[in-house]
């Protein structure tokens, strides 16, 4: 509406793993140009896509949208540099300059060893295809296991490394005499009783859902899914 100053586009998406089609990105870019607003494109999972899907960056759709786009990316996902807190933004010079002034007064700069590590990662990305193949395998394991549970529905993610199943069928059921109220309550029950740790869907504005990561080795993933299955058999 008239108060809108920016649109955030997150594709591939955290938490759902959805990848927006080229048509959706083009339509969003059209709205941005027509209304002369900023498009913040979160592309942190852009290399982690499956089944022929492609993460389309709006910055490549023409000069008019490019000059209104802030492309945001990070090293924590593709390169597993999570604890390094390292990322980057590409955009119009005047906006980047203002961002630099703010950051220089709050966090200074990334540590030098991390910058060298990031440069090395960008200069050799030959491992990515192998990584995507492994994530695709784990995706199949977790989605099949989730969909085998009564009352659970999980859409196949197109990118990233999360599954975001709908647990609506578990809401209102009881375990150990305790009735499940919502996604946060279910998360706490799973942590306490099954020793697995999803993220409640309420954190993403999607009640009744839980986010599970499959960015772990296969044996740990299978053990977690086994515990989830055992928990499900105790529901009444």
- Profile the chain (236 residues) by mean pLDDT over runs of 10 residues: 95 97 97 97 97 96 97 94 91 95 86 93 93 97 98 98 98 96 98 98 97 97 98 97
Angle between helices 128-147 and 218-232 (to 10 degrees): 10
Q: Give the pLDDT confidence score for residue 110 in this predicted structure.
A: 84
Task: Quote the pTM value.
Answer: 0.91
Q: How many CB atoms lie within 10 A of CB 23?
A: 9
Q: Give the pLDDT confidence score for residue 106 in this predicted structure.
A: 87
**203 secondary structure, DSSP code:** G
Q: Give the pLDDT confidence score for residue 108 in this predicted structure.
A: 79
β-strands 210-213, 199-200 pairing? antiparallel
Residue identified by tokens 């089944």 is: 51
Helices (H), the chain: 22-35, 63-66, 93-106, 112-123, 128-147, 183-189, 218-232
Residue identified by tokens 């030959």 is: 126
Q: Give the pLDDT confidence score for residue 187 in this predicted structure.
A: 98
Q: Give the pLDDT confidence score for residue 41 in this predicted structure.
A: 98
Q: How many CB atoms lie within 10 A of CB 26?
A: 15
Using CA atoms, how far apart are residues 175 and 177, in angstroms rounded to an integer?
A: 5
Q: Give the pLDDT confidence score for residue 66 in this predicted structure.
A: 97
β-strands 199-200, 38-42 pairing? unpaired
Per-residue pLDDT of 124-171, as tens digits, reads 999 999 999 999 999 999 999 999 999 999 999 999 999 999 999 999
């Amino acid at each position: 509406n008239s108060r809108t100053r920016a649109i955030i586009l997150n594709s591939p998406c955290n938490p759902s793993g959805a990848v927006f089609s080229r048509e959706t990105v083009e339509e969003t870019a059209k709205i941005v140009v027509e209304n002369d607003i900023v498009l913040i494109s979160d592309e942190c999972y852009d290399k982690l896509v499956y089944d022929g899907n492609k993460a389309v960056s709006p910055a490549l759709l023409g000069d008019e949208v490019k000059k209104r786009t802030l492309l945001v990316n990070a090293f924590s996902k593709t390169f597993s540099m999570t604890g390094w807190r390292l990322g980057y933004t590409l955009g119009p010079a005047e906006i980047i300059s203002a961002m630099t002034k703010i950051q220089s007064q709050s966090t200074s700069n990334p540590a030098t060893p991390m910058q060298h590590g990031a440069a090395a990662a960008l200069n050799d990305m030959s491992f990515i295809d192998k990584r995507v193949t492994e994530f695709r395998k784990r995706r199949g394991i977790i989605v099949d296991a989730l969909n085998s549970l009564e009352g659970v529905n999980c859409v196949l993610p197109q990118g990233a490394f999360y599954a975001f199943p709908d647990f609506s069928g578990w809401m209102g059921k009881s375990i150990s005499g305790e009735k499940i109220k919502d996604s946060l309550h279910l998360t706490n029950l799973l942590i306490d009783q099954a020793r697995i740790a999803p993220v409640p869907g309420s954190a993403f504005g999607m009640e009744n859902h839980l986010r599970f990561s499959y960015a772990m080795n296969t044996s740990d993933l299978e053990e977690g899914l086994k515990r989830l299955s055992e928990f499900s058999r105790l529901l009444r």
